[in-house]
Amino acid sequence: MPPFRTQVVIAGGGPFGLMLAIELGRRGIAVVLLDAKTVTARNPQANATQARTMEYYRRLGFADEVRALGMPADFPTDIAYFTRFATHELARFSLPSAREARQIVSTLSGSWSAAELPHRCNQMFIEPVLQRHAEALPGVSVNYGWRLTGFAEKADAVEVAAEPSGGGEARTLRADYLVGGDGARSIVRQALGIRYGGETGVVRDFVGGRMYAVYARVPEFYRAIPHRPAWMNVSFNRERRSFMPAVDGKADFAFHTQLKPYERLESLTDRDAVEMVQAAIGVPLPVQVLGRGDWTAGHALVAERFGRGRVFIGGDAAHLFTPTGGLGYNTAVEDAVNLGWKLAAVLKQQAAPRLLDSYEAERRPLAIRNTGHARRFAESLGNYEPVAEIEEPGPAGDEARRRAGEYLGAHGRAEFNIPGVTFGGRYDGSPAIVPDGTQPPADTADVYLPSACPGGRPPHLWLPGGGSLYDLFGFDWTLLRMGKARGEAFLSGPLEVKAIDVPQARDLYEADLALIRPDQVVAWRGSSDGDAAEILSRLAGH
C-alpha cells in the first residue's frame, strides 16, 4: 500500500511517470507512483527510442540494458515500403542494427555526433526496465493497481485520494506536489480545467481517422517473404494500407491499419483481424491474434497549460500525437527529465518555487513543435494515395510503382532521419537560461548544427581514448572548463567542475566555461566567472 505522506505523488506509470520517479528518487526525493493497471504495458505501443532519449538512459546508467532489448542485435532497423509485404518492394531506407549502432556511434560527426544512436524497441519491453530502476531507489513507492480518484490543493500540500483498482480500502495521501502523467483522458488535467488545443479529428487516406491495432504473431513471415527483413514494414495499396513494425524480429508484429467507413468496430472479430493482416502481407500466412483494439490518428494536441500551483502534467496528459516520427514517447521522457531536477531543487531548497514556472515555459513550445513535426509526417504519408494501377503487371504498373517508390523513399528519409528534431529542441527565452546574445542555429528537421548557444543541447564530442564528453557531465550541474578561466566562483551547491584539455572542445563551445544543467542543456557560457553569483541566483529562480 502507498504511504500516507510523501513529497511527490505521480499519477501514471508509463514512461513519463516512471522516468520522473527515477529522476526524483535519484535525488533523494520521496515519491509515490500510482497506476490503475496492475502491470506495465502488455501490448505493443511506442516503437522508437530516439537518440536523445538514449542519451538520457545512458546518463542514468541503463542505456546498454535498453539496447539489448527488443529484436536480435543483428536485425536491420530498415524502413521498407511495399505494395504488399510478399509482393513488390517500393522503397527502403536502411538503418543500422543495434550491434552496428554500437560500433559506428563513435565514428560519426556533424548532425549525428552523439553519445548514443536511436534504438528500435517496443515500449512494452522498456517499461519493465524503468519500473525496476524506479523500485530500486529508496523512498520511491511504485504502486500498480492503485488509481487516483481526485485531489485537493491546499496552501502547503496536495491531498490525493486513491483506491485499489480492484476494490478495497481507499486512502488519502498528502504530498508537496502532484504530477499527472495519467494519459490522454487525464483525471488530473481535467480536474484542473485545462483543455487541449491544436488539431484533431483529421481524416486522411491513412493515419487520419479510426485506426485498428493488431498484436499479431506470424511465425512464417520471414520464411515466406522474399525481401530483406525490415523493422518497419509499410503496405501501400488501395485495399489495405498499414504499417507493421517488428516487435521481436522473429514472429511478433504490431500491425496498424485504418478502418474503412463500412467496418464497424463493435462487430470486428479475431477472424477479421487475421484477414486484415493477411491482406497487407499478400499471402494467407497463419496469423495468431495476441491482442487487438482501436485508436484514433489525426491528433496534434497540446494542453493550454502544463500545471497550476502545486499540480503539474506531462506525457500524454499534456500532449497527444499521431505516432508518425515516433515523437510522443520521447517527448514524454524529456518532460520528465526537465521537471524532475526542478522539483528536486525546489524541494531541497536549492531553488525558489518560481523555477517551476520554467517547466511550462520550456516544454510547452517543444510539445507544439514536436506535434507539428508529427502532423507533417502524417500528412506526407497519409495524403499520398496509391493509384489504381499500383499492383498491376506490365508497364503501367511498373511506372506507378517507380513513382511511388521515389515518393515513399523521400518520405522515409524525411520521417526517420531527423537529427534536427531529435537534438535541436531549444529553450530560448526561458527564465532558467542565461542568454549570451548569440543567435541559435535554424531549427530544421533533417539537420542538426551543434551549438553551445545557451538553451540547447550541449555539443557532443568523443574524447581522446574513446569516451563521450557526456560521460563527464554530473547528474546535477556541471561546469565545463576548457580554457584559462578557473571558474571557482561557481563552486556552490551541487556542481562538479570538469576540466577538458581538448582544443576541439573549446572550438565547439566558443567559450572557456560552459554551465550544463542537470537535464544536459547549456544554461550559460562565458570566459569569466565574475558574474557567477548573479548567474546562479537567476538559474535558481531567485
Share of the chain above pLDDT 70, in %: 100
Residue 442's identity, in one-letter code, is: A
Using the CB atoms, write b or e for 182-206: b if 16+ within 10 Å: bbeebbbbebbebebebeeebebeb
At 66-105, the pLDDT tens digits run: 999 999 999 999 999 999 999 999 999 999 999 999 999 9
pLDDT over threshold 80, residue 319: yes
How confident is the model over 182-202, as a mean pLDDT?
Answer: 96
CATH 3.50.50.60 maps onto the chain at 8-47+122-199+300-373
pLDDT over threshold 90, residue 242: yes
Instruction: Please state the pTM of the whole predicted model.
Output: 0.97
Q: What is the DSSP letter of 424?
A: -
Residue 491: pLDDT band by 50, 70, 90 thresholds?
confident
Residue 494: pLDDT band by 50, 70, 90 thresholds?
confident
How confident is the model over 205-218, as a mean pLDDT?
Answer: 96
Residue 435: pLDDT band by 50, 70, 90 thresholds?
very high
Grid cell 499520398 is found at 384
Residue, of 166 and 390, whose pLDDT is higher: 390
Q: Residue 268: its pLDDT value, please?
A: 97
Residue 493: pLDDT band by 50, 70, 90 thresholds?
confident
Using the CB atoms, write b or e for 495-508: b if 16+ within 10 Å: bebeebeeeebbeb
CA distance 148 to 187: 8
**Residue 244: partners with Cβ closer than 8 Å, 6 or more residues away:** 85, 216, 232, 233, 234, 235, 253, 254, 255, 256, 277, 280
Q: Residue 186: its pLDDT value, please?
A: 97
Which region holds residue 317: left if phi is over 0, alpha if psi is between -120 and 50, else beta?
A: alpha
What is the distance, to the nearest Å, from the Cα of residue 400 to the centroid of all Cα atoms in its chain?
Answer: 36
Q: What is the DSSP letter of 466?
A: S
CA distance 198 to 204: 17
Residue, of 491 and 35, whose pLDDT is higher: 35
Nearest-10 Cα torsion for 182, 186, 189, 191: -120
Cell of 167: 476494490
pLDDT over threshold 80, residue 222: yes
Sheet holding 252-258, edge to edge: 89-93, 79-82, 232-235, 242-245, 252-258, 209-217, 288-297
How confident is the model over 115-127, as a mean pLDDT?
Answer: 96
pLDDT over threshold 90, residue 483: no
pLDDT over threshold 90, residue 486: no
Q: Residue 66: its pLDDT value, please?
A: 97
Cell of 410: 523521400
**C-beta of residue 52 within 8 angstroms of C-beta of residue 422:** yes
Radius of gyration over every alpha carbon of the chain, rounded to an integer in angstroms? 24
The CATH code belonging to domain 70-120+209-297+388-422 is: 3.30.9.10
**C-beta of residue 427 within 8 angstroms of C-beta of residue 82:** no
**φ and ψ at 82, to 5 degrees?**
-135, 155
Q: Residue 492: its pLDDT value, please?
A: 78
The CATH code belonging to domain 424-539 is: 3.40.30.120
pLDDT over threshold 90, residue 400: yes
Q: Residue 185: its pLDDT value, please?
A: 95
Q: What is the DSSP letter of 303?
A: E
3-state DSSP of 26-52: CCCCCEEEEECCCCCCCCCCCCEECHH
**Residue 39: partners with Cβ closer than 8 Å, 6 or more residues away:** 144
Query: How far, in Å, are 491, 503, 511 from residue 536 at the CA level?
Result: 10, 27, 18
Q: What is the DSSP letter of 449?
A: -
Residue 206's identity, in one-letter code, is: F
CA distance 473 to 29: 21
**Bridge partners of residue 210, in order along the sequence:** 296
**Alpha-helical segments (H) within 93-251:** 98-104, 123-135, 187-192, 221-224
How confident is the model over 458-485, as a mean pLDDT?
Answer: 93
How confident is the model over 357-374, as a mean pLDDT?
Answer: 98
Grid cell 504511504 is found at 3
**C-beta of residue 332 within 8 angstroms of C-beta of residue 15:** yes
CATH 3.40.30.120 maps onto the chain at 424-539
At 27-68, the pLDDT tens digits run: 999 999 999 999 999 899 999 999 999 999 999 999 999 999
pLDDT over threshold 90, residue 303: yes
CA distance 513 to 499: 9
CATH 3.30.9.10 maps onto the chain at 70-120+209-297+388-422
**Residue 530: partners with Cβ closer than 8 Å, 6 or more residues away:** 489
**Bridge partners of residue 163, in order along the sequence:** 147
How confident is the model over 159-173, as a mean pLDDT?
Answer: 95
How confident is the model over 277-283, as a mean pLDDT?
Answer: 98
Please count the other Cβ atoms lying within 10 Å of the Cβ belonging to residue 4: 11
The CATH code belonging to domain 8-47+122-199+300-373 is: 3.50.50.60
**Alpha-helical segments (H) within 424-485:** none
Residue, of 474 and 334, whose pLDDT is higher: 334
